[in-house]
Structures are given as C-alpha cells and as structure tokens.
C-alpha cells in the first residue's frame, strides 16, 4: 500500500523471497513503472478499494492510517517495512525519534559508531530503506534507525536502545488528533524489555509521561533544543562503552546537517541562515533564541497543518526582527496572530505580491516555488542591514510550494548566492 521509496524496497524484498507468488501494489498514482506479470496493480483514485481483498497489507509511511481505516476489516493485519525489519533483524537497533532533531541525532550517533570502529548502518527516515539489509545482516551489526511517527505507528517491537528527544504538535493533518500522534511516538519504548535502554529528554513533559510507563532502563538527558543531539549521542556511547577519545573526536568534527540552522554565509554584509527543516513553530522559536538579536529579517510560512502560532508570534514580537517575509498559506495566519498581539511595528512582505486576504487557496507544489523563493530573497537583500542576519525558518511544512524542505532550502541558498552578485 503506497509505492514510494519504502514501497519499492518492500516489493523487491518480497519478490526476491517469493519469485513465483502473486503480489499486489496499490497506489494513488496511475503509473508506477512496474511491468511484473505476477503483480496485480490497483492504481488511481479507486486504489483503496482493493484493500478488502487482502489479509496482509504492508503500508508505506506516506499513507495516513485514517485514510485506509474505512476500507479495512477486523480480520486484516496491517504491518510496515519497519515492523518486518524489527521482527527479523538479529543484531542491535538504536531507534531515534522526536518531532525535531532526530535526523541530526541519528547521523551523529552513527558517526560516533563509525569513528569507534563499529559495524554500523544509518537507515530509516534519514538513510535508506532497510529490508534488503536482512539478507546479509548479522548479530554484530548495529543499525541506527531514524524513526518517524509514521514508521512507528504499527510497531509491535521496540529497539534495544531507544531515543526520544521531544514531542510537539505536528502532522495533525495526518493523524486523527494529537493523542494518536503521541501514541505513535510512544511505540519506540512501549515494547522494550527490562534489559533495554530508553534515552529520553527529561525536560519535555510529554516525553516524561511516556518514560514513566516504560520498563526499560531509563537514561534521562537534558539540554536545549539544539544540544540534545549531542547529549543523546554521548548517552549511547556510554551504554555501548565506546572509547572516550574517539567519541570526543567525532563530536568535535561534527558540522551538522544541511537545512538545520545551516549558515549559508555572509553576502554583501548580511549573514544568511537556512533553517528549512524548521517545519513547526517551536523550531523557529529556538532558532531565534540561538541567533539572538542579530536576526533582522525572518522568512516564514508554508503548508497549513492546522498548528497554532500564538507562541511564535509572541517570540517574534519579543525579538529584534524588523522585517517579515511570508509564504502562503500560513503566512496570513502568522501575521494575523502578530497583529492580534501587536505590541510593536513590523514590516510584512507577502511574496506573491498580493494582499494577505488572497491566501485562501494554495499554489501547486513545484510550479511557483522557485519564483516565490527568488522574490523572498530579493526582498531580504533590500531590507536587511549590513551586519545583520536573514533567517529562513518557516515554522511550517513546504508541500504547497516546494517538493520538500530540501528543495526549499536549496532554492534559498541558490538565490542568496545569485543575488549576492547583483546590484541592490
């Protein structure tokens, strides 16, 4: 069910195991490029109707559970690629999740392991699909598995070492409610055993609630939003008894990942930061706190996931930001919240050149994104003083204008460099 990156990997895995069996693929797209004669295809708008014919459904993360629920019966079993891997992998899994920070933390843990000479693999949400690894993986292998809430949803087995960084409201368009999202995150420790380890952010109230219910060995960590990755990685290193010198070396050399408060550089006296992965208000708030009073221009807004922006507006009004550049569609919502709290004068720009009342419909992703970003960066150069910072930290997902946060961040970097060679 769903034939994206994970769906393709699952299909190839099953076909290798069962070359003669009939398999089925269901996907909203009408053409997925499969010509296997032993594969039934259910494609297009009515793809969900095929579900009733099957006892076992392997669901891809991109398909919301609430979408398939009306087409299911109680006798059917819904599983995931992640669940298949967890049930069959003979080695150690280090699972990492959290609303924000899981990619950086996973990469950092993997870096420490590699530096320490451990046979480690980086997979899941940040790395590659995993099922092909089962043909060659052994007991000595360690897999660092970045786990989204979507990948955790149907799990019946938890990793031996679990890391839970934080929980903020997100993906509320995907789940029925916030409780269902939290329940999915809790699966990272729900099925752990007494000899397993649960590394958790003791400063997060929702995470604390989950920690109280686990039977695993609890390893609390503390730290600011952008330092939790190192604290979690050091906790893993202690559990695995990695050499301190090698761990410290890997920590010193770690430069972070793209699109996570990434310094693009200084151009015409202005320093630009790409924080495109800030897809929730809390991430933007933390970015403002880290960069301090130098942020003069803030670019934000994007796809509406029904998240409220009251706290973000309050933080913007407390900051020294003078210019706000908004993308649709949440740009209007953020600006209205700022106006409601209006305690100081700010200069807003809406990059489609229209009045803010025109944000009722969303542009098609990929068609206008480049032009929107070009306009936003051009405004940023004209409005930001030398010695100050322009920050792209959208506080929203990207899907209404861009393919994903990577394209959004890459376009930002592209136009920053483009306009750095242009005249004001």
Residues 70 and 119 in one domain: no
Reported as a single tens digit per residue, the pLDDT across 113-123 is: 999 999 999 99
Residues 115 and 173 in one domain: yes
Residues 278 and 367 in one domain: yes
The CATH number covering residue 227 comes to 3.40.1190.10
12-48 burial code (b ≥16 CB/10 A, e <16): ebbeeeeeeeebebbbbeeebeeeeeeeebbbeeebb
The CATH number covering residue 370 comes to 3.90.190.20
Residues 152 and 228 in one domain: yes
Residues 339 and 371 in one domain: yes
- pLDDT range class, residue 423, cuts 50, 70, 90: low
H helices, E strands: number in the chain: 14, 16
Q: Are 143 and 121 in contact (CB under 8 A)?
A: yes
Instruction: Return left, alpha or beta for 268; rule: phi > 0 is left, psi -120 to 50 is alpha, else beta.
Output: left
- Predicted local confidence at residue 358, as pLDDT: 34
Instruction: Return left, alpha or beta for 197; rule: phi > 0 is left, psi -120 to 50 is alpha, else beta.
Output: beta
Residues 223 and 270 in one domain: no
Residues 201 and 92 in one domain: yes
Residues 64 and 94 in one domain: no
- Predicted local confidence at residue 223, as pLDDT: 86
For the beta sheet containing 262-267, the strands, ordered from the edge strand earlier in sequence to the opposite edge, are 262-267, 270-274, 389-392, 295-300, 323-326, 347-350
289 phi and psi angles, rounded to 5 deg: -70, -40
Examine the fold and report which residue of 208, 235, 253 is the final residue of a domain before the chain moves on: 253
- Predicted local confidence at residue 46, as pLDDT: 93
Examine the fold and report which residue of 253, 277, 302 is the final residue of a domain before the chain moves on: 253
Token readout for 306 is 């029904």
Greatest C-alpha distance within the chain: 69
Q: How many domains does one find in the chain?
A: 3
Residues 186 and 244 in one domain: yes
Question: What is the extent of the structural domain holding 386?
Answer: 262-420
- Predicted local confidence at residue 357, as pLDDT: 34
- Predicted local confidence at residue 354, as pLDDT: 38
In angstroms, what is the C-alpha Rg of the chain? 23
- Predicted local confidence at residue 343, as pLDDT: 61
421 has pLDDT over 90: no
Examine the fold and report which residue of 230, 253, 276 is the final residue of a domain before the chain moves on: 253
Residues 91 and 11 in one domain: no
Reported as a single tens digit per residue, the pLDDT across 338-354 is: 999 976 678 899 886 43
Q: Which H/E stretch holds residue 200?
A: strand 197-201
Residues 186 and 304 in one domain: no
C-alpha distance across the termini of the chain, in Å: 51
**Hey, which residues does 77 pair with through a beta bridge?**
56
Reported as a single tens digit per residue, the pLDDT across 55-105 is: 999 999 999 999 999 999 989 999 999 999 999 999 999 999 999 999 999
Residues 99 and 182 in one domain: yes
Average pLDDT across the chain, whole number: 92
- Predicted local confidence at residue 129, as pLDDT: 87
Strand 197-201 relative to strand 217-221, pairing: parallel
Reported as a single tens digit per residue, the pLDDT across 177-233 is: 999 999 999 999 999 999 999 999 999 999 999 999 999 999 999 988 778 999 999
Strand 77-79 relative to strand 56-58, pairing: parallel
| Percentage of the chain lying above the pLDDT 70 cut | 95
C-beta atoms surrounding 178 within 10 Å? 15
């Amino acid at each position: 069910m769903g034939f994206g990156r994970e769906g393709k990997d699952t299909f190839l895995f099953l076909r290798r195991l069962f070359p003669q069996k009939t398999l089925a693929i269901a996907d909203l797209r009408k053409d997925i490029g499969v010509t296997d004669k032993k594969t039934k295809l259910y494609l297009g708008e009515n793809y969900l109707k095929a579900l009733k014919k099957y006892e076992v459904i392997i669901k891809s993360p991109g398909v919301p559970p609430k979408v398939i629920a009306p087409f299911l019966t109680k006798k059917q079993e819904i599983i995931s690629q992640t669940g298949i891997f967890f049930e069959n992998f003979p080695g150690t899994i280090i699972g990492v999740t959290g609303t924000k920070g899981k990619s950086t933390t996973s990469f950092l843990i993997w870096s420490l392991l590699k530096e320490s000479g451990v046979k480690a693999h980086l997979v899941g949400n940040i790395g590659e699909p995993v099922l092909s690894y089962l043909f060659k993986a052994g007991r000595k292998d360690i897999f660092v598995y970045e786990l989204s809430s979507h990948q955790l949803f149907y799990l019946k087995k938890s990793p031996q070492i679990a890391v839970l960084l934080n929980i903020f409201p997100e993906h509320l368009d995907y789940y029925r409610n916030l409780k269902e999202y939290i329940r999915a995150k809790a699966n990272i420790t729900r099925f752990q055993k007494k000899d397993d380890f649960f590394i958790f952010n003791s400063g997060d109230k929702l995470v604390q609630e989950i920690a109280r219910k686990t039977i695993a060995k609890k390893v609390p960590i503390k730290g600011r939003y952008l330092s939790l990755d190192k604290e979690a990685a050091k906790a893993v290193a202690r559990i695995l008894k990695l050499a301190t010198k090698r761990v410290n070396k890997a920590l010193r050399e770690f430069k972070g990942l793209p699109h996570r408060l990434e310094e693009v550089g200084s151009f015409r006296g202005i320093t630009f930061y790409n924080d495109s992965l800030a897809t929730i208000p809390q991430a933007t708030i933390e970015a403002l706190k880290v960069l301090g009073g130098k942020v003069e221009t803030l670019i934000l807004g994007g796809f509406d996931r029904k998240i409220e922006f009251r706290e973000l507006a309050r933080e913007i009004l407390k900051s020294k930001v003078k210019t706000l550049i908004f993308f649709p569609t949440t740009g209007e919502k953020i600006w209205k919240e700022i106006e409601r709290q209006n305690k100081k004068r700010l200069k807003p720009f809406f990059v489609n050149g229209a009045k803010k009342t025109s944000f009722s419909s969303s542009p098609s992703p990929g068609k206008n994104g480049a032009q929107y970003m070009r306009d936003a960066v051009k405004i940023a150069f004209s409005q930001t003083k030398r010695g100050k910072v322009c920050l792209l930290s959208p506080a929203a997902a990207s899907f209404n204008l861009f393919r994903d946060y990577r394209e959004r961040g890459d376009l930002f970097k592209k136009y920053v460099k483009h306009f750095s060679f242009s005249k004001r």
